[in-house]
Structures are given as structure tokens and as C-alpha cells.
């Protein structure tokens, strides 16, 4: 199961919790929930974590909304959610209706609060190197190459006598690669593969896009699974960058000053003409809890500026100020961005 699929299971579990709280006596809902729990062992495991977290907050579910499920070595509490089976294809899912950068605070507060307490340990334990919120980490590989991991990021390393392969599972990393023509250096994601011999470059992965920025050397970006991409192979040199949208297949090329590439290593984020939603995606990795939009339109505004990643709250205020926005800290785990 991929990281995206594990994250989806957590989101589905929170979705079930929402529906159970809304309709605890709905027998059809209970039956649909039980089918979801039984569909995969991870569903029961994740539900146990979500329910336990909610109980720890002092908000027990209605008695008739709590069941009993046999799981490996233990019993877990259960709840339920919307009618029918919830899974990746459930178009009516609350989380499907509300994308990452457009979540509306009102109807999903319960789910957001629960998820804010979950460390996603399920996915972290499968990665060779990981960082948490606000953390960075320098990894020196066996060949002497260095990887700088940005906050909330993860990589797997797979070196063989013939090649040096790394899997970027989530987040962002800067790679300073030692030259070895006999063993190409590749950074792989589900959608593209970045190949080099010896160079320095940054790769930033989000749910719906990927960006590659080259500090020096030559980089090849190969399409693995992006539909509609005009070129399956893109070549970048020093100072050149590309941003690829997974849904549309659009590849936007742009130039970035070499000294500002991976500026996050110095605690700085420089952007030019990007959406507020894109910047929030980055700031989310530096701030605990959830950042949500009270109005989707605000996330679509474009900004140019330099932001201090060491102070994400200040950066958020500066970010939305130019578009007449405001920042509301609803709880320590929920920040809402909206128009004034």
C-alpha cells in the first residue's frame, strides 16, 4: 500500500467518525461501516487509532455507534459513516469533495481535529529516512552524495552496483550528487523519475504536482505516469526549473536564481507568481495541525515574495495580507485562512 493510500485510509476513518456522530442510530450506515472495516486489515488498525484519539479528547461516540471488531491480537472500537462502501472511488466522500488546499473549516472540524493528533506512524515506519513537522535532516549516502530532507519528508534508498536509486515518498529534498558515470543517480516518484550523473538539484512533491529545480549540472526528468504531458523527457540545466501538474499534464518551465534554490535550507521561501494554496502547502510542513481555507477563492490568489519559514505564523499573515485575507487560530491544531 502506498503512502497516498495509507493517508486516504486515515481520511476515510475520520470521515466515518463524522457520519457516526451525525447519525449514530442508522443501521444501514453501521452495516456500511462494518464492511469498510472488514475490507482490509489496515482499516481496522487505523480506525482503532482514530477512535482512541477521539476518546482521549473526552468525546466518546454514542453507545449505539460503537461496535466491537476482532483484529489481530486485540479488539478495536468501531464507528461508521456514509451509506455504501467508502473507498478510493467514493466520489461523495467529504475528503474527495474538499481538496487539500480548499478544505472548508465548518463541516470538517471534527475530522481535522482527530487527524491533527495522528502522527501517521503507519507510513513513517516504512521509510529509510524521514522528518517531522518543522524538522530537517542531512543524510550522507554510501557514495558520499548528500541529501537534505525538508520538513515532513521521506525517502527510501536503494543502491546497487549498477545504479543509485532513491524513492521520494513525500515532501521535498535537495540532492548534492557525487559524479559516477558508471552508476547513474535517480530520484523516483510515482509520477516521474529524475536522472543525473553528478549535479545538485531540488525535488518538491505534493499531492497534485512535482517541481524540479537545478542548482548546477544537467538533469533529465522522465515521465512515468502523468497523462497528457507533452514531452516524456525534459532536460534541465543550471538555473532551470519545471513544475508538472499531475492532473492536467501541464509542465511549466521557469528560471530560478541558483542561490535561492532550496532556500528552505536557510529558512527562506522565495516565490514568484505562485498561488497562495501552493505556498500554504509548503508552510503546512512547518506548522503543526491543519491550515484550511474558509474560502476557496483565497487559495487561488497569486503572490510574489520572500517568506521566513522559521516563523510560519508570521509568514501566513504576510501571505494573505496582500489579498485582504486574515488568519484565525481556531484551536492550537486548526488555522483558518479567510477574507476579512
pLDDT of 2 reads: 55
CA–CA separation, 190 vs 200, rounded Å? 21
pLDDT of 271 reads: 83
Share of the chain above pLDDT 90, in %: 36
pLDDT of 112 reads: 52
CATH architecture for segment(s) 267-339: 3-Layer(bab) Sandwich (3.55)
Q: Please say if the pLDDT value at position 134 is more than 80.
A: yes
Q: Delimit the domains of the chain by residue range.
A: 3-115, 128-264, 267-339
CA proximity to 276, closest of 260, 258, 294, 261: 294
pLDDT of 213 reads: 94
pLDDT of 240 reads: 92
CA–CA separation, 23 vs 80, rounded Å? 9
Q: Please say if the pLDDT value at position 165 is more than 90.
A: yes
Range in 21-30, 44-53, 85-94, 110-119 the model is least confident about: 85-94
Q: What is the mean pLDDT of the chain?
A: 76
pLDDT of 51 reads: 65
Q: How confident is the model at residue 54 (pLDDT cuts 50, 70, 90)?
A: low
pLDDT of 71 reads: 31
What b/e sequence results for 131-157 when a residue is b if at least 16 CB atoms lie within 10 Å of its CB, and e otherwise?
A: beeeebbebebeeebebbbbbbbbbee
Q: Please say if the pLDDT value at position 332 is more than 80.
A: no
Share of the chain above pLDDT 70, in %: 73
Q: Please say if the pLDDT value at position 311 is more than 90.
A: yes
Which carries the bigger pLDDT value, residue 259 or residue 318? 318
CA–CA separation, 154 vs 124, rounded Å? 8
- Is the domain 128-264 a CATH 3.30.300.10 member? no
Which carries the bigger pLDDT value, residue 48 or residue 115? 48
Q: Please say if the pLDDT value at position 241 is more than 50.
A: yes
Range in 58-62, 207-211, 233-237 the model is least confident about: 58-62
Question: Which residues have a Cβ under 8 Å from the Cβ of 77 and sit 6 or more positions away?
Answer: 47, 48, 51, 52, 55, 61, 66, 67, 68, 69
* 75-106 residue pLDDT tens: 223 222 222 333 333 333 333 333 334 433 44
CA proximity to 205, closest of 270, 154, 258, 132: 154
Range in 22-36, 108-122, 230-244 the model is least confident about: 108-122
Q: Please say if the pLDDT value at position 52 is more than 90.
A: no
Report how far apart, in Å, the C-alpha atoms of 227 and of each of 4, 205, 215, 232 are: 18, 17, 28, 10
Measured in whole angstroms, how far is the alpha carbon of residue 40 from the centre of its chain? 23
Q: Please say if the pLDDT value at position 320 is more than 80.
A: yes
pLDDT of 49 reads: 64
Query: Per the structure block, which three cell numbers stand in for 42?
Result: 489496515
In the chain, alpha helices (H)? 3-22, 27-39, 41-56, 94-97, 109-116, 121-124, 276-283, 296-299, 312-321
> H or E element: which one contains 310?
none
Amino acid at each position: 500500500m502506498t503512502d497516498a493510500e495509507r493517508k486516504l485510509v486515515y481520511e476515510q476513518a475520520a470521515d466515518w467518525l463524522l457520519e457516526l456522530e451525525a447519525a449514530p442510530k442508522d443501521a444501514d450506515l453501521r452495516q456500511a461501516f462494518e464492511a469498510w472495516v472488514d475490507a482490509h486489515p489496515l482499516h481496522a488498525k487505523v480506525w482503532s487509532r482514530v477512535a482512541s484519539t477521539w476518546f482521549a479528547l473526552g468525546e466518546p461516540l454514542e453507545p449505539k455507534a460503537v461496535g466491537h471488531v476482532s483484529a489481530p491480537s486485540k479488539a478495536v472500537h468501531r464507528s461508521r459513516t456514509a451509506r455504501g462502501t467508502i473507498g478510493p472511488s467514493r466520489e461523495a466522500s467529504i475528503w474527495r469533495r474538499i481538496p487539500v488546499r480548499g478544505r472548508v473549516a465548518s463541516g470538517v472540524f471534527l475530522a481535522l481535529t482527530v487527524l491533527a493528533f495522528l502522527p501517521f506512524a503507519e507510513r513513517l515506519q516504512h521509510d529509510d529516512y524521514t522528518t517531522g513537522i518543522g524538522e530537517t535532516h542531512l543524510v550522507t549516502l554510501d557514495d558520499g552524495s548528500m541529501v537534505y530532507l525538508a520538513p515532513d519528508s521521506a525517502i527510501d534508498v536503494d543502491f546497487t552496483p549498477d545504479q543509485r536509486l532513491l524513492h521520494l515518498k513525500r515532501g521535498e529534498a535537495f540532492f548534492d550528487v557525487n559524479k559516477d558515470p558508471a552508476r547513474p543517480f535517480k530520484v523516483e516518484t510515482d509520477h516521474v523519475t529524475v536522472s543525473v550523473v553528478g549535479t545538485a538539484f531540488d525535488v518538491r512533491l505534493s499531492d497534485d504536482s512535482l517541481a524540479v529545480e537545478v542548482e548546477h549540472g544537467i538533469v533529465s526528468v522522465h515521465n512515468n505516469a502523468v497523462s497528457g504531458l507533452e514531452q516524456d523527457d525534459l532536460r534541465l540545466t543550471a538555473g532551470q526549473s519545471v513544475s508538472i501538474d499531475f492532473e492536467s499534464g501541464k509542465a511549466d518551465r521557469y528560471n530560478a536564481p541558483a542561490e535561492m534554490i532550496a532556500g528552505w535550507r536557510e529558512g527562506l521561501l522565495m516565490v514568484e507568481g505562485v498561488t497562495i494554496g501552493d505556498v500554504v502547502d509548503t508552510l503546512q510542513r512547518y506548522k503543526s495541525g491543519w491550515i484550511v481555507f474558509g474560502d476557496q477563492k483565497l487559495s487561488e490568489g497569486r503572490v510574489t515574495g520572500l517568506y521566513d519559514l522559521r516563523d510560519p505564523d508570521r509568514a501566513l499573515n504576510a501571505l494573505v495580507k496582500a489579498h485582504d485575507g486574515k488568519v484565525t487560530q481556531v484551536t492550537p491544531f486548526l488555522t483558518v485562512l479567510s477574507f476579512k
